[in-house]
Structure formats: structure tokens, C-alpha cells
Amino acid sequence: MKIGFIGLGVMGAPMARHLAGAGHEIATTLNRSPLPQGLTAKVLSSPTEVAEVSEVVILMLPDTPDVERVLTAEAGVLAGLKPGTLVIDMSTISPIATRRFAEAVAEKGGSYLDAPVSGGQVGAENASLTIMVGGAETDHDRALPLFQIMGKNITLVGATGAGQICKLANQIIVALNIEAVSEALVFASKAGCDPARVRQALMGGFAASRVLEVHGERMIKRTFAPGFRLKLHQKDLTLALDSAKALGVSLPNTATAQELMSACDRDQDHSSLVKALEALACHQLG
């Protein structure tokens, strides 16, 4: 299949490599960075040219304005979209904007899926991503062989926008788990316990979680090189809070976690949220 893949960042590059490794032809356009190492792809000058040569166009971009620019700019995807082309947005963006983008693609005769992912850089590299899909079942079935190359847990959640809603729910849960682990380890450490041993003990009980396992270790070892940048997680929580406001839903603990992130280095891993709790406690783990 001829696939246009736009957004070859920390997540997008390994995803595109898996598709190319499975025999698909990849076309892309580059912004400032060179073609990622190990990826064989045709490099074109604009998203329009990518769309012109593609049966499927996949986007993996940081935020809503980036997706809007790539789709709707003068040299954007929509300008080169052929009838029958499937656009798959695997970014995490606004559900409201997602529905608008889907309508614009449909006006050009194309189809649209929102298919954000969870699993981080490790999941992208290991082709073990969780993929949450919104859109028509026929489009999901068409894309499924591609999703199966990039991920393991693939779910059609509902109509257009449902994938984004599901991803924001995921980000709420992950953020509050990180905040809870941060509170627990800071509390235990300031009380005089070894946080590493506390974490080890908790891993055998009902408090065990993937966040405690992976990010608890990051907090204790102070390894905050980004696997998923805190600023991107904060962006996702802002999207969740904006959507909740429109729905009349209160997300009090999500709002607290989002505010705590503002007290951290937003270019570090999201596990560095612990630093905000350490600052409030005047105590560093150790």
C-alpha cells in the first residue's frame, strides 16, 4: 500500500519504520529534521504532494494546530487529496476539531479516522501500541492491517471523535496515577523510609500498577529523560478539561494535576511531576 506518513518524531518514526518494514511504500515531507535513521521513504516537498501519491495518509503530530496546518494550509493534505483516500490522524488532539477535520476530508471525497495511541516511545518501537479508533467501521476494517503492524490492542470505540475522547480518558488516568505515586513516595521518604523498598513492597499489593513499576523507578533513580514529555501530557489534560467544560463535567483532580505540571520542567518526562510534590514537601526522594 502507498502510505503518506507525516510526523516522524519520537513516536512517528518507529511507527513508520514498522510500516515500511512490512513492505508498504512510505512517502513523507520533512520540516527541520532529516529522515530518521533506518527508514526508507520517498521525501516530497509538501503535504499536498504526499497526499497526491498516497492511498492512506497518516498524521502523527503534537497538537491540534499542527494537524490543522498540515491538513488545511495552502500546500496541505486537503489540496492533494484524491477521492477514496483514507486519512488517519494518530495524534492526540481536540475531539471537537477532529469532527471538523473529518467533515473537510469527506467534502474532498476521502474518509477519516481518529486513532490516537497509548504506549509511549517504547510501545511505538516495540509495535505494541494501544490504538483507540473513532470513525466508520468500514474505514476501521480497511485500516486494521496497518494498525496491527503498529500496535497490539486495537479498539473501534465509536463514531468520529470517540478515539480522541478515549485517549483523553486514558491521559486522565495516567496523570492521576503519576500524581498518586508521587505523593505516596514523597510521603514515605519524608517519613524516613527508603522509597525504593516502599515501591518494592507496594508492587506486591493492590497498589501495584504499571505507573508504579516504570515511573516509580524513574522518580527514585532521577531518570527524567523524556519518554513522553510532560508538556505533551499537560496539553492532553488541557484538552480534557476544555472538553469537560463544554460537557458540564467537573474534573477536579485532573485540574490539580494539570496545574502541578506547570511547576515542573515541561521538557522532561511526565514522571518528573514528582518534583512538584517534592517542592511542596521541601524534600527530595532519597
* Contact of 167 with 236, CB cutoff 8 Å: yes
Partnered with residue 89 across adjacent β-strands are 59, 114
- Look up residue 245 and give its amino acid: K
Q: What is the mean predicted confidence (pLDDT) over 242-251?
A: 95
pLDDT band at 158; cut points 50, 70, 90: very high
The answer to whether residues 76 and 112 belong to one domain is yes
| pLDDT value of residue 108 | 96
| pLDDT value of residue 259 | 97
- Residue 198 inside a domain? The answer is yes
Q: What is the mean predicted confidence (pLDDT) over 70-92?
A: 97
pLDDT at 286 over 80: no
| pLDDT value of residue 33 | 79
The residue among 123, 158, 193 that closes a domain is 158
DSSP the chain: -EEEEE--STTHHHHHHHHHHTT-EEEEE-SSSPPPTT---EEESSHHHHHHT-SEEEE--SSHHHHHHHHHSTTSHHHHPPTTPEEEE-S---HHHHHHHHHHHHHTT-EEEE--EESHHHHHHTT-EEEEEES-HHHHHHHHHHHHHHEEEEEEEESTTHHHHHHHHHHHHHHHHHHHHHHHHHHHHHTT--HHHHHHHHTTSTT--HHHHHHHHHHHHT----SSBHHHHHHHHHHHHHHHHHHT---HHHHHHHHHHTTS-TTSBGGGGHHHHHHHHT----
Mean pLDDT, rounded, of the chain: 96
The answer to whether residues 90 and 7 belong to one domain is yes
Predicted model pTM: 0.91
| pLDDT value of residue 31 | 79
State pLDDT tens for residues 138-150.
Answer: 999 999 999 999 9
Query: Is residue 221 among the annotated active site residues?
Result: no
Terminal Cα-to-Cα distance of the chain (whole angstroms): 52
- Residue 91 inside a domain? The answer is yes
State pLDDT tens for residues 97-138.
Answer: 999 999 999 999 999 999 999 988 889 999 999 999 999 999
- Residue 286 inside a domain? The answer is no
- Residue 84 inside a domain? The answer is yes
* Contact of 229 with 267, CB cutoff 8 Å: yes
Q: Which residue has the cell 492512506?
A: 56
Total number of domains in the chain: 2
pLDDT at 32 over 90: no
Closest CA to 86 of 56, 47, 122, 64: 56
Length of the chain: 286
State pLDDT tens for residues 200-215.
Answer: 999 999 999 999 999 9
Q: What is the mean predicted confidence (pLDDT) over 61-69?
A: 96
| pLDDT value of residue 13 | 95
Choice among 2, 108, 152, 167 that is catalytic: 167
The answer to whether residues 195 and 153 belong to one domain is no
pLDDT at 76 over 80: yes
| pLDDT value of residue 184 | 98
- Residue 236 inside a domain? The answer is yes
- Report the half-sphere exposure of 124 (CA within 13 A, side-chain side): 20
Give the range of the structural domain holding residue 219, as residue numbers without chain letter.
165-281
- The C-alpha atoms of residue 12 and residue 17 are separated, in whole angstroms, by 9
* 38: its cell numbers: 533506518
Cα dist from 266 to 29, 168, 273, 275, whole Å: 27, 19, 9, 11
The residue among 94, 125, 158 that closes a domain is 158
Cβ atoms < 10 Å from Cβ of 36: 17
Share of the chain above pLDDT 70, in %: 100
